[in-house]
Amino acid sequence: MSDCIFCKIVNGGIPCSKVYEDEDILAFNDIAPARPVHVLVIPKKHISSLMTATPEDAPVFGKMLAKANEIAASQGSSDGFRVIINNGRVGGQEVPHLHMHIVGGPDPVGPMLKKL
C-alpha cells in the first residue's frame, strides 16, 4: 500500500534498523523502544491486522512466530521474551500494517495487563 509507513520500510523508502529479513518477513527495531529489546516483525505483504487476515496468511504468521526466538536472542533477549500484536481500535493499533512486537531484554518485562 503506497501510503503505508511499514510498506515504505519494506520497499526501502523509509530507513529502518533491520535485524532480520527473508523473502516473506522483515524485522526491525522499534523507533521508540518500550524495553531494552523491542523489535517489530512484519509480513512484507500488506496485511492490515488480524481483523482482515485470511487463511492464506497463516504461513507467514507461522514464520513470524517461528522466527521470534532467534530474533529475540540475537538482540539480547535469550532467556525469554513477549510477543504482542495490537489489532484495531480496541487493541490500540497505531500502524495499520500488521506487526508483531517482540519485547524483552535481560530482565522480566513485567505483568501483562492489570486485572479488572
Q: Report the C-alpha gap between 39 and 101 in whole angstroms.
A: 6
Nearer to ligand AMP, 31 or 113 (CB): 31
* 53 forms part of the interface with Zn ion (CB under 5 A): no
97 is catalytic: no
CA distance 54 to 89: 20
- Tell me the three cell numbers of residue 89: 481500535
Query: Does 4 help bind Zn ion (rule: CB under 5 A)?
Result: yes
Task: Tell me the closest approach of the beta carbon of residue 7 to Zn ion, in angstroms.
Answer: 3
Determine the straight-line distance between the first and last CA of the chain, rounded to whole angstroms: 38
Of residues 38, 46, 97, 99, which has the active-site annotation?
Answer: 99
Instruction: List contacts with ligand AMP (CB under 6 A).
Output: 5, 14, 16, 28, 30-32, 40, 86, 92-95
